[in-house]
Amino acid sequence: MHPLLNDQRDIRVAQRPGRVTARELESVDQLLLILPERARAETWRAVPGGAKLAAAAKRRAASDVPTLVSRLDNKRQTLVVGGQIGASASAFERLEFGRKLVTVATAEKSGALAICALGFDEHSAAAIARDVMSAALAAAFTLPAYRSKASKPAIRSIRLLGLAETLDLSRVTAEASGNNLARWLTAMPPNKLDAANYADIVRDLAADHGWQFKRFGTKALDNLGAGAFLAVAQGNQNDSASIVRLRYRPGSTDTNADLSLVGKGIIFDTGGTNLKPFQSMLEMHGDMQGSAVALGTLLAISNMGLPIAVDCWLAITENRTGPEAYKAQDVVTAANGKTIQTIHTDAEGRMALADTLVLASREDPRLILDYATLTGSCINAITKRFSGVFTNRPEWHPRLKRTGQGCGERVWPFPIGDEFLEALKSETADIMQCSPKNVGDHILAGSFLAEFVENDTPWVHMDLSAGHHEGGLAHVPSKITGFGVRYTMSLLLDEDILGSESE
């Protein structure tokens, strides 16, 4: 394990099906109690101290979350944070509900957290318990901090109580590990996660998890004709930029990938020659979140041991300003031979991804998913609560939207295609990098990227407009959301996107 990852401790997770007893709660510091909107009297009686809790609930408005806060009369003085939710609540509503409950519970000293959902049918209770567990695992994770006095984790252990039977939590914990890794990398300061160090961390993760690792440095990329990526990288003060390829092969090692994950890894984005203003540059150490989501998704797949072959491509570089940096009106040649007229140096993400998509699609995967914090216009279109998705399989739009609704990481599909390429016609090259008019840039960016997917490979691009959301989003409490890991796992496991291309 890379030294920078050593401080991340595992949270103990346990389950105790059956009736909740007073003795069991003596070892619990905080209890999250979830009840139906109209809980019956016998439901309250199923919990120690239930009469006291029911009285507290009556004093609170039904719309409050949490609906009640109380303490049990035991040696531990267990804090009970309760809430009521409808059995038909959406996945997003369950996740957001869980985050709010956990936030109240973790305002106290660190401790042993328990989750109990009572009064629901078996299916609803399991769904609620899993989603609140996801919120607890996200809150239990410690993001990078460099204070002289280290803070203690708010949660040491998590247990599920009161369910009819033991749940399989392998997917919940795998998704949490992937999301946590994505958020952790994105939160790292840019002087701690430079391009060379990022590649080292990825190499160590590969060694820990049995992934094949290959780094394509600038000389190798020059030999491959990756002029679009190298245009962005040429402003760096050193030769640390690279495209990293990881391979997860649970079966035969010589098979082509079923799935290729591609991520934008701009570890710091100044905007280049078209320099960003201060406020816009302040969070640009997080412009590599797409690569972190791709890497976190690979970790989740690997931790679950899913029987699919996966390649993961990370386009890692800075976008700097300086005498060697690329400029507007430069013409460069991408790895597929297309010439690109550069228009705005702050549209560097699509340049770095263009060559990476060429390399990924030449390996003939069955599906490519790419992730990038790519355009401000996507945020303007759908806010930071949704992410945009784009695909060369427009018949998939209902599936992509349905997946987001089902998992709570919501997306909105946008069109791409030849009619939008009209805005990218160039007088000096095959295509313009972006339009000077900057209208619908998220759609133009998606249309641009599609030109670099070879062999008609099925491809989905995610513009991570929900990658940052002040105050957290769904189950994630931090501003950096790691959006995309949970979505991709749902796309694979619930929507079975690799099983068929049919609707």
Give catalytic residues, as residue numbers: 276, 350
Taking CB atoms within 8 Å and a gap of at least 24, the contacts of 198-204 are 198/265, 198/267, 198/288, 198/314, 198/316, 199/240, 199/242, 199/244, 199/316, 200/2, 201/2, 201/4, 201/5, 202/244, 202/246, 202/295, 202/314, 204/1, 204/2, 204/5
The answer to whether the beta carbons of residues 102 and 139 sit under 8 Å apart is yes
**Distance (Å, rounded) from C-alpha 352 to C-alpha 229?**
4
Beta bridge partners of 244: 215, 314
Q: Please give the torsion angle defined by the CA atoms of residues 49, 54, 56 and 59, in that order, rounded to the nearest 10 degrees.
A: -170
What crossing angle do the helices spanning 289-304 and 485-493 adopt, rounded to 10°?
40
Beta bridge partners of 477: none
Residue 494 neighbours by CB distance under 10 Å: 12
Q: Retrieve residue 55's tokens.
A: 């009285």
Contacts of 230 (CB under 8 A, 6+ apart): 218, 221, 222, 241, 332
The answer to whether the beta carbons of residues 352 and 360 sit under 8 Å apart is no
Tokens 């699609």, residue located: 361
Beta strands 339-341 and 431-432: pairing type? Answer: parallel
AA identity, residue 293:
V
**Distance (Å, rounded) from C-alpha 333 to C-alpha 336?**
8
Of 238, 290, 229, 241, residue with least CA distance to 463: 290
